[in-house]
Amino acid sequence: MAELTYREAVAAGIAQEMRRDPSVVFLGEDVAGAGGVFKTTAGLLEEFGPDRVVDTPISEQAILGAAMGAAMTGLRPIAEIMFSDFFAVCWDLVANEIAKTRYMTDGMAGCPLVIRSGNGAGLRFGAQHSQSIENWAMAVPGVKVVAPSTPADLIGLMAASVRDPDPVLLFEHKALYPTKGDVPDGEIVDELGKARVLRDGSDATVVALALMVPRAMEAADMLAADGIEVTVIDVRSLVPLDTATILASVAETSRLFTVEENPRLCGWGAEICSIVGEDGFWDLDGPIVRITTPHLPLASAPKLEDLALPDADRVTATIKTALG
Amino acid sequence: MPLSGAPYGEHGIVLPEPFDESLKDAPIDLEVRIELFRKQHEIRQLEKRIYDLFLQGLVRGTSHLSIGMEATGAAFGVALRRDDYSFATYRGHGHTVARGVGPEPIIGELLGRATGLVGGKGGSMHLTSVEHGMMGCYAIIGAHLCIANGAAWSAKVRGTDQVAVAFFGDGATNIGAFHEAVNYAANYRLPTIFVCENNLYMEYTPIAEVTPVKHPAADRAPAYGMDATVVDGNDADAVYLAAQAAIERARSGGGPSIIEAKTYRQGGHSRADPGQYRPDREVEAWLAHDPIPMYHQRLLDLGVGEDRLTAIIGEVAAEIDRATEAAKSAPEPAAEALWTNVWADGGSQWRN
Ligand SMILES: Cc1ncc(C[n+]2csc(CCOP(=O)(O)OP(=O)(O)O)c2C)c(N)n1
Ligand SMILES: [Mg+2]
């Protein structure tokens, strides 16, 4: 067991897979020589050399195109899109090309690749470098979407994503990079499509993702101090989605709250609410409540950014009010 | 007042240059030339059949034909090795045929049949046959130039000497992905061959009205430290020689190439578009610069008997007739096919 930062876990996860499989290659802007703008990929160039760890021009379409063409022809590329906001300049490759290749070719061709990206707010970067776009991604049939919240999950889900025969978008949360966590020794391989119950409580189910997971856990502590016990579930994987774990928990607690960093409209939690509304309706004792960033662009001033994102206080207050 | 000096409908007419008769003596084996002849006919006759089927209401949606543009596809089809990669646009029937895919799965795909090349999930704009190196036809302008780079990169990493070819139109040279892809390929000396089929028009707008250079692909090459070749895209021998040179260069580590093939679509952009935005004199001149009768005559001049050529044309016609009937009588996809092959496990499940 070792303690790693979430930042260090990125390189550890990529290195684990590159050591195992020579067809794994890694490309992106500033990822090799500089070790990544967030220093997440330091050491990879030194270990694997410039043929497998490639510094690219600022050409997001060229990056994802290269990853796709390579994936179709025998490699297992990992591509970095530096800030997830930049998906907007190469969304064609994600939504029209990579996601649809297997279906459009009726299974003849596939894109076993991973696109990893720095997602989310908390660093005061303003509206164009802070978005949580996991809900854009899950709206596209044909891509898998994961968003780990701990260093161990990051390594395990990275490995699962690289080994998966389908395209996976892996969202790292930028504000989690400095956080630390225990990481087991040896190879770590997780599973896509598995949520994790982090805490058990019978009064309500709280589902959260990425940076919202530690905030939901903090809120759970605060609620416990007031005698309210909640179950906290780290969703981890939006596609495939582990609805069984969520529905089973709602069957026990009868209440559901989502804690989402993405802006309100069509956020990932809306889909979970809809599923629970259809498949778990008779288990519910009260309204489902979504706690989200409002439907606003993000401001950069610390005070405004903090107001926009759900925090432990807001989660706590909302749950308390709803439970009466 | 239109911004450009060539308002819609009155643009400068671009006429073909006469065929280069000296290409008759080019060092191309006669059997290779017979193959070029056959492939051009396979494409022409298939496209004509597809047009008929479209007018009969049997091909739904859309279709983009390459009648008049067959020489480029045929030349690359003959010049490429079986394990090389082709990436084409929505105007990709010809490039698919050129890689050796027969007419039956193509017509089946266009008729929405279970026997279609990709089971009815692609349609006219999305033909793929990985076993033939036909890595897909892409309908969002530009992306596949970037994707072809990936296949070229992969060949390099895997240590093979395969090459990747991306075919695209003149219009594609004004989208960002073209510039990203060419820069990327040049920077890493990838074995990618960029082939612009310059047919003078985007959908309905002449490329010259929206492009500040004469050769939309070739004139951009110097910006990326590359040379480019401009060829008569209606002369299969000219394209074949350019293809051979580019392929040889890519295989031997010399990096990417840009080839601009000057050509013309004899019909409209898509569907039943009559193409009336094109001046009569231009259309007439290009109809006279047809790749197929020229090549027929060239082979006669080289001593091939008319009977041999007629026999080839007849064989191709018979196969297309047979394929049409087979495709027409094939069943539609089973309802279950809707749900298959989103994921590698064959299914489409996104939740448990
Ligand atoms: C990104 C994008 N923009 C617009 C279109 C619509 N469109 C389809 S074909 C076409 C014209 C393309 O012209 P060109 O590249 O010259 O190819 P050609 O059709 O002449 O072969 C356009 C604008 C598209 N498919 N993709
Ligand atoms: Mg054109």
Could you give the domains of chain B? 36-330 (3.40.50.970)
Domain ranges in chain A with CATH number 3.40.50.970: 2-183
Mean pLDDT value of segment A209-231: 98
Distance between CA atoms of residues A162 and A75, nearest Å: 11
User: Residue B347, CB half-sphere, CA atoms under 13 Å: how many?
Assistant: 6
Q: Is the predicted pLDDT of residue B8 greater than 70, yes or no?
A: no
Mean pLDDT value of segment B112-122: 98
Q: Is the predicted pLDDT of residue B6 greater than 90, yes or no?
A: no
Mean pLDDT value of segment B306-312: 98
Mean pLDDT value of segment B98-122: 98
Residue A61's closest chain B neighbor by CA?
A: B177
Q: Whose CA is nearest to atom 22 of ligand 1?
A: B203
Measured in whole angstroms, the distance separating CA B301 from the mean position of its chain's CA atoms is 27
Domain ranges in chain A with CATH number 3.40.50.920: 196-323
Percent of chain B with pLDDT over 90: 96
Catalytic choice (A76, A129, A194, A255):
A129
Q: Is the predicted pLDDT of residue B1 greater than 80, yes or no?
A: no
Percent of chain A with pLDDT over 90: 100
pLDDT at residue number B12? 80
Exposed/middle/buried for residue A179 (C-beta within 10 Å: 0-12, 13-18, 19+):
middle
Q: Is the predicted pLDDT of residue B59 greater than 50, yes or no?
A: yes
- CB count in 10 Å sphere of residue B351: 15
- CB count in 10 Å sphere of residue B44: 25
Q: What is the CATH number of domain A2-183?
A: 3.40.50.970
Q: Is the predicted pLDDT of residue A319 greater than 50, yes or no?
A: yes
Please state the pTM of the whole predicted model: 0.97
Q: Does the distance separating the beta carbons of A240 and B349 come in below 8 Å?
A: yes
Confidence of residue B3 (pLDDT cuts 50, 70, 90): very low
**Cβ–Cβ under 8 Å, residues B193 and B167:** no
Mean pLDDT value of segment A255-279: 98
Q: Give the distance from residue B352's alpha carbon to the nearest chain A alpha carbon, in angstroms.
A: 6
Confidence of residue A56 (pLDDT cuts 50, 70, 90): very high
Q: Is the predicted pLDDT of residue B5 greater than 80, yes or no?
A: no
Mean pLDDT value of segment B57-71: 97
Arch. (CATH architecture) of A196-323? 3-Layer(aba) Sandwich (3.40)
Measured in whole angstroms, the distance separating CA A50 from the mean position of its chain's CA atoms is 28
ipTM of the complex: 0.97
Q: Is the predicted pLDDT of residue B231 greater than 50, yes or no?
A: yes
Q: Give the distance from residue B203's alpha carbon to the nearest chain A alpha carbon, in angstroms.
A: 20
The question of whether A129 is a catalytic residue gets the answer yes
Percent of chain B with pLDDT over 70: 97
- CB count in 10 Å sphere of residue B227: 10
What single-letter DSSP state applies at residue A96?
A: I
pLDDT at residue number B10? 52
Mean pLDDT value of segment A11-39: 98
pLDDT digits 0-9 by tens, B252-294 = 999 999 999 999 999 999 998 999 999 999 999 999 999 999 9
Q: Does the distance separating the beta carbons of B181 and A62 come in below 8 Å?
A: yes
Kindly give the distance from the C-alpha atom of residue B54 to the centroid of ligand 2, in angstroms, as a whole number: 21
pLDDT at residue number B11? 61
Percent of chain A with pLDDT over 70: 100
Give, to the nearest 10 degrees, the angle between helix B306-329 and helix B103-110.
40
Kindly give the distance from the C-alpha atom of residue B181 to the centroid of ligand 1, in angstroms, as a whole number: 17
Q: Is the predicted pLDDT of residue B18 greater than 90, yes or no?
A: yes
Reading phi first (left if > 0) and then psi (alpha if -120 to 50, else beta), residue A167 is in beta
Q: Does the distance separating the beta carbons of B118 and A104 come in below 8 Å?
A: yes
- Residues in the ligand 1 pocket, defined by CB under 6 Å: B 91, 139-141, 168-172, 199, 201-203, 269
Q: Is the predicted pLDDT of residue B9 greater than 60, yes or no?
A: no
- As given in the structure block, the two tokens for residue A237 are 């994987």
pLDDT digits 0-9 by tens, A230-261 = 999 999 999 999 999 999 999 999 999 999 99
Mean pLDDT value of segment A7-19: 98
